[in-house]
């Protein structure tokens, strides 16, 4: 993808320029709405904590870098477990050099897991690819810090992630495992800081579903997305 001339794509009609006092007044007005959103998000998180638990009775197995492990093993001794189903699978677009573009973007945003671990929580990724392929792509993309396992049974079908990415949360009581939450589709955006940063810019995400002023640069989602090692190498995979 070539670098575009930044000024060439600026909209011809932009919000008016104002004084510092007027700008601060507008910011304070918007801040009221932002605080409302923050409180609504807090209330939603409180509702999640009151979701009923589903007891997991099947004995699911995965392949890891050190052999076969169970769902319980994925907790790594901690109380909580988050499992992201990424389509690093044979047959997806970009294979065998890459996995799914969107799933790869999520993997790119995973930072130091010590902070989650400090709250007795483990995060792992699971896919259908053999471990050799997972390790190869992890090394290529810089994802060595992400624990990544191979699905070997009906786990993906049973937990709503056989045909689409998604994130499941579990908790354990001794050897008993419970499913506590599930999110997919745009719900997984919460795990990608790129969107949060773009959402605070004047032009936003620059995607054609957004409510932006007339004339703002926009293109379809996926048209500009790419694997991080492919930007500047030509057209994005879905252009």
For 125-149, what is the mean pLDDT? 97
Mind listing the pLDDT tens digit for each residue in 149-208?
999 999 999 999 999 999 999 999 999 999 999 999 999 999 999 999 999 999 999 999
Residue 6 has pLDDT above 50, yes or no: no
Percent over 70 (pLDDT), the chain: 94
Residue 64 has pLDDT above 60, yes or no: yes
CA distance 181 to 83: 11
Over range 132-155, report the average pLDDT.
98
CA distances from 200 to 16, 106, 156 (A): 18, 19, 35
Higher pLDDT, 177 or 237: 177
> What are the backbone dihedrals phi and psi of residue 64, each rounded to the nearest 5 degrees, phi first?
-120, -175
Tokens, residue 146:
């992400």
| pLDDT beyond 90 at 95 | yes
Domain ranges of the chain: 54-188
- What's the length of the chain? 239
Beta strands 148-151 and 121-127, pairing class: parallel
Q: CA 28, CA 20: separation in Å to the nearest integer?
A: 12
Q: Is the pLDDT of residue 239 over 90?
A: no
- Mapped onto helix, strand or coil, the DSSP state of residue 139 is helix
* Contacts made by residues 134-139, CB under 8 angstroms, sequence distance 24+: 134/88, 135/65, 137/88, 137/97, 137/98, 137/99
Residue 213 above 80 pLDDT? yes
- pLDDT at position 5 is 46
pTM check: above 0.85? yes
In the CATH scheme, what architecture does the domain 54-188 have? 3-Layer(aba) Sandwich (3.40)
> Among residues of the chain, what percentage have pLDDT more than 90?
87
């Amino acid at each position: 993808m070539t670098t575009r001339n930044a000024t060439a794509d600026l909209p011809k009609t932009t919000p008016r320029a104002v004084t510092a006092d007027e700008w601060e007044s507008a910011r304070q007005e918007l801040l009221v709405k932002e605080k409302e959103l923050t409180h609504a998000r807090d209330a939603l998180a409180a509702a999640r904590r009151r979701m009923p638990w589903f007891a997991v009775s099947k004995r699911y197995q995965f392949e890891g870098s050190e052999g076969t492990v169970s769902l319980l093993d994925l907790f790594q001794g901690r109380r909580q477990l988050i499992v992201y189903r990424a389509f690093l699978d044979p047959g997806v677009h970009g294979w065998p050099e890459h996995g799914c573009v969107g799933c790869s973007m999520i993997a790119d945003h995973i930072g130091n897991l010590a902070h989650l671990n400090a709250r007795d929580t483990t995060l792992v990724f699971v896919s259908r690819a053999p471990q050799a392929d997972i390790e190869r792509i992890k090394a290529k993309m810089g994802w060595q810090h992400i624990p990544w396992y191979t699905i070997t049974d009906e786990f993906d079908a049973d937990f709503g992630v056989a045909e689409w990415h998604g994130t499941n949360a579990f908790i354990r009581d001794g050897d008993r495992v419970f499913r506590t939450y599930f999110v997919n589709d745009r719900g997984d955006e919460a795990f990608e800081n790129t969107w949060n940063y773009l959402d605070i810019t004047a032009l936003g995400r620059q995607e054609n579903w957004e409510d932006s002023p007339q004339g703002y640069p926009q293109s379809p989602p996926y048209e500009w997305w790419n694997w991080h090692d492919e930007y500047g190498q030509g057209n994005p995979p879905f252009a």
